[in-house]
Amino acid sequence: MRLRFDASYEPVVLGGTMFVPSMVSDSVTALDARTGAERWHFFAEGPVRFSPVAWEGSVYFVSDDGYLYCVGAADGKLRWKFRSLPPGTRDRKLLGSGRLISLFPARGGPVLSDGVIYFGAGIWSGYGVAIHALDARSGKVVWSNSDSNRIPKANMDHGIGHEAGLSPQGYLAVVNDALVVPCGAQLPAFLDLKTGRLKPYWMGWGGRNGLPKGTWFVAGARNYLSHGGDLYDLNRPNDERFDDPRGRPDFKSMLYPGGWTRVWIDATNQKDLGAFQEPVFASDVLYTGEQGIAAYDLGDARLVERKTSPIPPSRREDTYPDKWKIASRELWKMPSKLRVYAKAGDRLYLGGRGVVEAVRIPAIKPRPPVASSGQPPQVVWRAAVEGRPIACWPPGAGCLSLRWKERSTRSAQRRRPLRLRSHRRPPPRRQPTHGRKPRPISFRRRKSGTDMPW
């Protein structure tokens, strides 16, 4: 589950148009959000695995061909594109998902902030990786970081520092005036938003129960970051210590993203397999569904020592338990076994196997202090569906967009009766053989030079 950023389509909606990327057909398709009718189609030279960014009449997306594309939202015509290559290198091709892709695929999903679009490319640090900031309108480079592929002592293996580098894999995010770059199975990196300078980085050592583990998902608000379901305070440096460092320098604080303090741990971190929570942030409020659906006031949070508070069952077997935990005021809670997916206006959208719900949530009064109106949350509609949705997007053009596990995207009208429209996985493209039987491809190891990473 830690690298399932392309488990299914990842569309976005702007106005009355849904933009659907495809890791199957290497394309982005624009659909009418109400009818599902196709408006335009744009093909890249590799899988498009991440959700596009739609802004001011433009659509931005990355592909395994190593490019960031900018196309017109109305017509799908190319406005500009930018290729990520480490300095002094040429692109090479290798097999990926059954076809040729770049040696430097762009798998750092784009994020836009204050007119600047950020993305990452390259996943093998030994060959080179880069993080870029571009002017979203012109495509001109604001800054590029291509020297974070060999970081001394970034891999603290049993307290011994080894060289490691970034591996951008997942959706980038802007949190607390920093660019957060998820690195797949490694811990995320933090870069200065204005200069691209890498802040202190360690890749993690998450094999033990409870220790932070890398994943594709990061999100946040204010000074709080959610990564793999865990919550971190980006204003508080980590002061964790091993109970028994065994005579070595204590390096426990280097096993947390950016050296920040973790204040909430997801129960999935105590399991070999599982789906971590992907909470929804709305200013000072955090919505999550770990034990029922609840809203917490992040503006009224404080830290308490773990030893002085009750230990939840999911944390009793931590090999290296954290020192701190967050104490945050609960604004409201409702019993539910569904997951929180999105918030729009006064609605919270939930989903689970066979069902999607819209919940009208109590009005939140602004600080000081944040408070609920006192009215209980109420389910305003429920729709029976086939399978299990794994993501949904707030209503656009009167429709709620859902992403299904079997790689289809559906649109449901907000008013009952709910009618579902589906954009399903297209059939695989057949390559012409011109009447000849295709010859099998064989690969031989190179006798000299640099071996390809397959």
Tokens read off for 447 = 């006798």
pLDDT category at 38 given cuts 50, 70, 90 is very high
Average pLDDT of every residue of the chain: 83
Q: Where are the alpha helices (DSSP H) in 169-213?
A: none
Helix (H, G, I), strand (E, B) or coil at 433: coil
pLDDT category at 141 given cuts 50, 70, 90 is very high
For residue 205, is pLDDT > 90? no
For residue 145, is pLDDT > 70? yes
- Residue 40 is predicted with a pLDDT of 97
Mean predicted confidence (pLDDT) in 377-400: 74
Mean predicted confidence (pLDDT) in 323-342: 90
pLDDT tens column, 206-233: 666 678 888 898 999 989 999 988 999 9
With a CB cutoff of 8 Å and minimum separation 6, the contacts of 447 are: none
Query: Which stretch of 142-151, 165-174, 291-300, 409-418 has the lowest confidence by average pLDDT?
Result: 409-418
Strand partners, 357: 350, 382
- Residue 74 is predicted with a pLDDT of 95
For residue 294, what are the CA distances in angstroms to 24, 208, 284, 315? Answer: 37, 29, 14, 20
Pick the CATH number of 12-341 from 3.10.129.10, 3.60.110.10, 3.20.20.60, 2.40.128.630: 2.40.128.630
Mean predicted confidence (pLDDT) in 323-331: 88
Q: What is the DSSP string of 231-296?
A: EEEEEEE-----S--TTSPP-GGGGSGGGEEEEE--GGGGSSS------EEETTEEEE-BTBEEEE
Q: Length of the chain, please?
A: 454
Buried/exposed 239-270: b ≥16 CB within 10 Å, e otherwise: ebeeeeeeeeeebbbbbbbbbbbbbbbbbbbb
Q: Bigger pLDDT: 279 or 206?
A: 279
pLDDT tens column, 42-97: 999 999 999 999 999 999 999 999 999 999 999 999 999 999 988 888 889 998 87
- Residue 448 is predicted with a pLDDT of 40
- Residue 391 is predicted with a pLDDT of 67
- Residue 207 is predicted with a pLDDT of 65
Query: Which stretch of 93-97, 125-129, 336-340, 371-375 has the lowest confidence by average pLDDT?
Result: 371-375
CA 253 to chain centre: 24
For residue 376, is pLDDT > 70? yes
pLDDT tens column, 252-263: 888 899 999 999
Of 318, 316, 325, 261, the C-alpha closest to 296 is: 325
- Residue 347 is predicted with a pLDDT of 92
- Residue 389 is predicted with a pLDDT of 73
Give me the torsion for CA of 62, 67, 72, 76, rounded to 10°: -80
Strand partners, 219: 226
- Residue 404 is predicted with a pLDDT of 55
- Residue 375 is predicted with a pLDDT of 81
- Residue 366 is predicted with a pLDDT of 63
Domain residues of the chain, as ranges? 12-341
